[in-house]
Structure 1
């Protein structure tokens, strides 16, 4: 199978999404208001890596609110777990 990019030149980036005039703030935990772009909020995975919700642009407002409520609680737990793991590692190395 022949490679169409045989001269090893990098492929161009796709066009950026059109700018949004105003991104509405979302109430995350009853106190903090955050603004998210079209990609949606960050998800803290159990191994500490970050990802995004793939279908965020297709969700309704109600789905987004429910997802944020669950995601906020889960992210807080996972961040605390990662901090505890780091503290444990630093204590055991000392």
Structure 2
């Protein structure tokens, strides 16, 4: 079941001045090299530390 409200989203501020993004229980969107969007399939099984690390990499890559 998909979240119904923006308040269901979590916001990570990955740096003081670079970027922030919101994601829901499905995890952050990944911008692929061909411009398509996807999600990380194992996001729900990741630990909070793994999620933070993965999110930092994705923010840099998605820019």
TM-score surpassing 0.5?
Answer: yes
Where do 5+ consecutive residues of structure 2 fail to align?
none
Structure richer in helix, relative to its length? 1
Question: Which of 9, 26, 31 in structure 1 is aligned with 2:12?
Answer: 26
Where do 5+ consecutive residues of structure 1 fail to align?
1-15, 77-94
Q: Decide which structure has the larger Cα Rg and report it.
A: 1
Work out the CA distance in 1 between the residues paired with 2:49 and 2:30. 18
Deviations 1:22-57 (A, max 9, x none): 544212343444332110000000100000000111
- When the two structures are aligned, how many residues end up with a matched partner? 60
Cα RMSD (Å): 2.2
Structure richer in strand, relative to its length? 2
Question: Which of 51, 56, 66 in structure 1 is aligned with 2:53?
Answer: 66
TM-score (norm 1): 0.52
TM-score (norm 2): 0.73
